[in-house]
Amino acid sequence: MIRPIIAANWKMNKTVSESLDFVSRLMQLVIGMNDRQVVIAPPFTALYAVGAALKGSSIGLAAQNLSENKDGAYTGEVSARMLADAGCTHVIIGHSERRTIFGESNDVIRAKISMALQSGMQPIVCIGETIEERESGRTFDVIAKQIKEGLNQIETSDIKHIIIAYEPVWAIGAGKTATPEQAGEVHGFIRKLMEERYGEEPARRLPVLYGGSVNPDNIGKLMAQPDINGALVGGAGLNVDTFGKIISF
């Protein structure tokens, strides 16, 4: 059985002091909660301070992005080695905002996944379709392309270190959530696709999270779906009390 993973992506929110206040309160909420993994993704500016605060705790620390380059003359970029050194255990890759606003291709995402794996971090690889793609019946085609191209050249031995997050673009920050049945159907497709590519055992152990307006009211029904193994939480992860209700589903 896959241990559920509940991750909060703070996006471009919270100062260092606000991040540390959140973390101090969150650490109290997760005491004794050993049957699930909690991960938070603060902004870059807060990673080192939060990483230091989390030492000895069960909470994972994720970066929201990383460079596809190892090091060098890339002004403004942050490398995988730097993130690991700051205490990151996970890194979000391929979020729809990175794909749409910043034009990240599946090839760039594949390079970022490789960099994360080489540095010992677990990539949380985001995939998902737009409303136009869903309404035109192309959801599965889009998901398959993102997985095949994004995970191209990733070895079977590395799959155990990867987390997939299905985030329908039309549900992110929109107050809309895929129904548990819609989400479950896509998660089932993802697992079947991974089984075809990497074998039954790696696919069975692969954590597949759902993201898209997750909140305390819908987390229970989403987690009841057999192929949903957790959540990547956006806006509801900015308030520690609300996030606490989600992780306590």
Q: For the chain, how long is the longest CA-to-CA vector?
A: 48
Amino acid at residue number 234: G
CA separation for the pair 37, 56 (Å, rounded): 14
Burial of 35 (0-12, 13-18, 19+ CB in 10 A): exposed
Sequence-distant (≥ 6) Cβ neighbours of residue 23 within 8 angstroms: 40, 50, 53, 54, 59
Q: Kindly give the interhelix angle for 106-118 and 139-150, rounded to the nearest 10 degrees.
A: 50
Q: Which of 68, 95, 97, 104 is catalytic?
A: 95
CA separation for the pair 52, 45 (Å, rounded): 13
Q: What are phi and psi of 8, to 5 degrees?
A: -110, 120
Q: Which of 97, 104, 167, 187 is catalytic?
A: 167
Token duo for residue 90? 């996970």
Known active-site residue 200: no
Known active-site residue 187: no
Residue 176: CB atoms within 10 A of its CB come to 12
* Run of H or E including 92: strand 90-93
CA separation for the pair 43, 66 (Å, rounded): 12
Give the catalytic positions in this structure: 95, 167
